[in-house]
Structure 1
Amino acid sequence: EAPVHFYASAADFRTIIYTPNVYRIDVELEGNTIPCVIQDIQFHPVSDEALHIDFIQLIDGKPVTIEVPMRLEGNARGVRNGGKMKRVLRKLKVKATPENLPDAIVHDITNLRIGQAVRVSDIPANNFEIVNSPSAVIVSIKTSRTAVADEDEDEGAEETSGETPAEA
């Protein structure tokens, strides 16, 4: 189909523009309801006001590629040991049919240690395909001056558990 052009006030879109979430939007034009998602937004460089929005029409059974926010859960073990978390990708490109599009991709980083990283290939893709390079880093834990080696924390936990080693 040919692209449909329309104009609407920026205030009408304010709640869906300034959020990291992906929303399915029903656009009503001339009595027709068109299910869509936002593909791209162009902002004014100074005022940060939305100037132009591109929508993709959702057609049942037809795959669509959009960016979906990557949400990290948990407090990484490496950060608790003094490491610094570096977030590289905040969104992932996902290809899926409209009924399988996730609102966000959630990944637990609780066991992530200093020197480790989560890559795109580590993310399970259920009913959708991640288009980004499988080797792309999403988040990593870097060492810092105050970082404690993981082994030191493990030994400290054993000593404070109340158990004392038997003397020979």
Structure 2
Amino acid sequence: MKSITINGSQRESVGKKATKALRNAGQVPCVIYGGDKSLHFSAPELAFSKLVYTPNAHTVVIALDNGESYNAVMQDIQFHPVTDRIIHVDFYQIFENKEITMEIPVKTIGSSKGVMNGGNLRMPYRKLRVKAIPSKLPDFIEIDITPLKIGSKFYITELENEDYKFLHPENTVVCQVRRSRLAVVDEEEEGEEEGAEGTEGAAEGSEAPAADAAQE
């Protein structure tokens, strides 16, 4: 996974006055959790642009002016309700041999046959929760939607691998192609549907004589 470096300064004062002064100076107060003790620091608001305003997931290297650096992931971010400026960020320190949980973005490749026939691609999850050691975390989860026909579903179990674990139920549908009013069912899909209906009809027909015999 790609990493972004944020240069900051450790802060000693954490009261309301000191925090307000930092924000007025264009600095964002931050906290790092997960280590031996919590660490308070600040960094320029512009330093967070590549971390916050992007669809991709990143780890962070926090480099302080005292020469210390920490590997972390962003845990929480707060925005001003009116100006939408960043007013506080929480980080969680990560260690190479310790598993962490992150939300990883989902990206699709290919062209779905069902979508080309007028179906609608639905993606309930734009991000998936993944657990792994930092070096095994992917930049994104890739799904090839080419085989998806109208009515097809792509389950999270089809994404299983040895590098990381998904923290979702096995029946989670990551994406699916649903029929729309303008959808056109091709011959192959129609044949599959008719075959399924024929099987059901045969099953219903085989039950009928037994019912008539019971009446006699």
TM-score, structure 2 length as denominator?
0.66
Unaligned runs of 5+ in 1: 156-168
Aligned position for 2:100: 64
Letter paired with 2:83:
S
Moved over 6 A (4+): 152-155
Query: CA offset at residue 81 of structure 1?
Result: 0.6
How many pairs were matched up? 155
Aligned position for 1:33: 69
Query: CA offset at residue 46 of structure 1?
Result: 4.0
Aligned position for 1:112: 148
Aligned position for 1:135: 171
User: Partners in 2 of 1:90 and 1:138 — Cα distance?
Assistant: 9
User: Partners in 2 of 1:140 and 1:97 — Cα distance?
Assistant: 30
Aligned position for 1:85: 121
Aligned position for 2:38: 3
Query: CA offset at residue 130 of structure 1?
Result: 0.7
User: Partners in 2 of 1:98 and 1:113 — Cα distance?
Assistant: 36
Query: Is residue 101 of structure 1 aligned with residue 137 of structure 2?
Result: yes
Secondary structure of the corresponding residue to residue 128 of structure 2: strand
Letter paired with 2:124:
V
Q: RCO higher in 1 or 2 (8 Å CA, sep ≥ 6)? A: 1
Aligned position for 2:58: 23
- What RMSD over aligned residues (CA atoms) do the two structures have, in Å? 1.9
Unaligned runs of 5+ in 2: 1-35, 192-216
Identity of aligned residues (%): 38
Aligned position for 2:185: 149
Q: Tell whether the 8 Å contact from 1:85 to 1:141 is kept in structure 2 after alignment.
A: yes
1:121 paired residue among 137, 140, 157:
157
Q: Tell whether the 8 Å contact from 2:160 to 2:166 is kept in structure 1 after alignment.
A: no
Q: Cα gap change, 1:55/1:115 in structure 2, threshold over 3 Å: closer, same or farther?
A: same
Letter paired with 2:59:
R
The higher radius of gyration belongs to: 2
Deviation sequence 1:92-136 (CA, Å, 0-9, x none): 111000111111111101111111111222213331111122212
Aligned position for 1:75: 111
User: Partners in 2 of 1:69 and 1:78 — Cα distance?
Assistant: 23
Q: Which moved more, 1:8-17 or 1:104-113?
A: 8-17
